[in-house]
Amino acid sequence: MMALAFLTQTLRIAIPYLFAAAGGVMTERVGIIGLTLEGYMLGGAFGAAVGSLATGNPWIGLAAGALGGLVFALLYGLGAIRFRADQVVVGIAVNLLAIGLTRVLLRFLYDSSSNSPRVPGFNVTSSGSGFGALAQNPLVWMGFLALPLVAWILYRTPLGLRIRAVGEHPAAAISLGVPVTRVRWTAVALSGILAGLGGAYLALDQHQFTDQMTALRGFIALAATIFGRWDPKRVALACLLFAAAETLQIHLQGVGAFPSQFVEMIPYVLTIVALAGVVGRAVPPAALGRAPE
């Protein structure tokens, strides 16, 4: 029973990571840095809350969540692709904008500086371990499918081949007639939708939107993307690993054995170690972060 509860909690924590990291793989494989996952998630969480509150239908909330992520992805694309601005700078600004805009709209729509009213989510009947409730949430299943979907696109479709070509060698892709700009836009838009769904899961699961509710999950997803070396299978494992570490920390909290701050560090330390190449170097897509010619 204990083991099932542990597993349930790990999966519950992992779902938003799986969504956002799927977006992370998508954007980084096309050569555009996934710094903005945090902003997409926040936009997605806010969109889901607004959509679900306005219609009372969580499915519409879900769609609005995807749209919320997409809006910030398009903005990032506008700066990084259309205007060829520095990805890091625009990316950071998009995150700041997501925080600011959701705050302003929270005040405008619900006259609150901290949280939205109660958001209708998917109806679930709870059981002992919570596993049954988890399994009834359609977003959970979508979360499990997000990275396999990205893997299928990347390795089994013409679009995926183009995405990988543009991410590794844009000049060669251009000379082969690949519409580089359109491929970049497509990948960035998909990334926004995927991470937006991760944010939507948070808002619908917690039944409200709260200021900065994503709480750095977008950066943990980015860490998982890098620690998983941009390979969907490994990235999924990285998400589960980070989620399991958090679950362990929650369980140990009562015992008071291990300070929570050290568990918080795990994804980030592992990412730095992976980049430094102590155990098998993480090599990013060759054109990552570079502006197209």
Partner 1 sequence: MMTREKFEEAVLPPVVALLVAMLVGDALILLFGQSPGAVYRMLLEGTWGNAYGLGQVLYKATTLTFTGLAVAIGLRAGLFNIGAESQLAAGGFMAAVVGLAIPAGVPALLLLPVYFLAAALAGGAVGALPGWLKARFGAHEVITTIMLNFVVLALLNYLISSRFKVPDTLHTRELASGRLPRLDAFLPAFHGSAANVVLLLALAAAVLVGWFLFRTRAGFELRATGLQPAAAEYGGVKVGRVWWHAMAISGALAGIGGLNYVLGYKGYYEEGFATGAGFLGIAVALVGRSHPVGIVLAALLFATLSQGGLAVNALVPKQMVDVLQAVVIIAVATSVPEVRRLLRGFRRSNDA
Find the binder of partner 1 among 131, 206, 275, 292 (CB under 8 A): 275
CB of 90 to partner 1, least distance (A): 5
Is 168 among the residues that bind partner 1 (CB under 8 A)? no
CB of 258 to partner 1, least distance (A): 11
Is 250 among the residues that bind partner 1 (CB under 8 A)? no
Per-position x/- string for 2-31, each x denoting binding to partner 1 as judged by CB under 8 A, each - no binding: ------------------------------
Is 171 among the residues that bind partner 1 (CB under 8 A)? no
Q: Report phi then psi at 155, rounded to 5.
A: -105, -10
CB of 264 to partner 1, least distance (A): 5
Find the binder of partner 1 among 185, 219, 230, 242 (CB under 8 A): 219
Please classify residue 86 by burial: count the beta carbons closer than 10 Å to its beta carbon, then call 0-12 exposed, 13-18 middle and 19+ buried.
Answer: middle
Per-position x/- string for 180-199, each x denoting binding to partner 1 as judged by CB under 8 A, each - no binding: --------------------
Binding site for partner 1 (CB under 8 A): 33, 35, 75, 78-79, 83-86, 88-90, 92-94, 96-97, 99-101, 103-104, 107-108, 113, 216, 219, 222-223, 226, 259, 261-262, 264-265, 268-269, 271-272, 275-277, 281, 284, 289, 291
